[in-house]
Amino acid sequence: MIVRLPGATLLLEAKVWADEQRDQCARLADEWSEEDPTLVFLTRDGRLPRSAGENQGQWVPLRWSHVVGFVEGAILRLPPGREPAPGVLDLLETLNEFHGG
Comparing C-alpha atoms, which of 26, 12, 15 is closest to residue 60?
12
Are residues 8 and 57 part of one domain? yes
Are residues 46 and 7 part of one domain? yes
Q: What is the reported pLDDT for 100? A: 62
The residue that leads in pLDDT, 95 or 32, is 32
With b meaning 16 or more CB within 10 Å and e meaning fewer, what string describes 3-35? eeeeeeeebebebeeeeeeeebbbebbeeeeee
Q: What are phi and psi of 22, to 5 degrees?
A: -60, 125
Are residues 45 and 10 part of one domain? yes
Comparing C-alpha atoms, which of 43, 61, 19 is closest to residue 98?
43
CA distances 41 to 21, 30, 77, 83, Å, are 14, 15, 26, 30
Are residues 79 and 33 part of one domain? no
Are residues 48 and 29 part of one domain? yes
pLDDT in tens, 55-96: 999 999 999 989 889 899 999 999 999 999 999 999 899 988
